[in-house]
Amino acid sequence: MWEQEKLNFRNAGSPPWASERELGAARVSLEAWGLGSPVYYEHRAWGWMARFVDSKFDNFQMNAHTAVYYTHLVIANYQVKLLQEGIRPAMSHPLVGIGVWQENAGTAEK
2 closest CA partner among 58, 85, 75, 79? 58
pLDDT score for 104: 72
50 closest CA partner among 21, 83, 82, 13? 13
Q: CB-hemisphere CA count at 13 Å for 67?
A: 29
- Of 18-22, 36-40, 44-48, 81-85, minimum mean pLDDT range: 44-48
Spans of all domains in the chain? 2-103
74 against 86, higher pLDDT? 74
pLDDT averaged over every residue in the chain: 86
Summarize the confidence of residues 83-109 as an average pLDDT. Answer: 80
Is the pLDDT at 2 greater than 70? The verdict is no
Are 46 and 56 contacting, i.e. CB atoms less than 8 angstroms apart? Answer: no
pTM of the model: 0.83
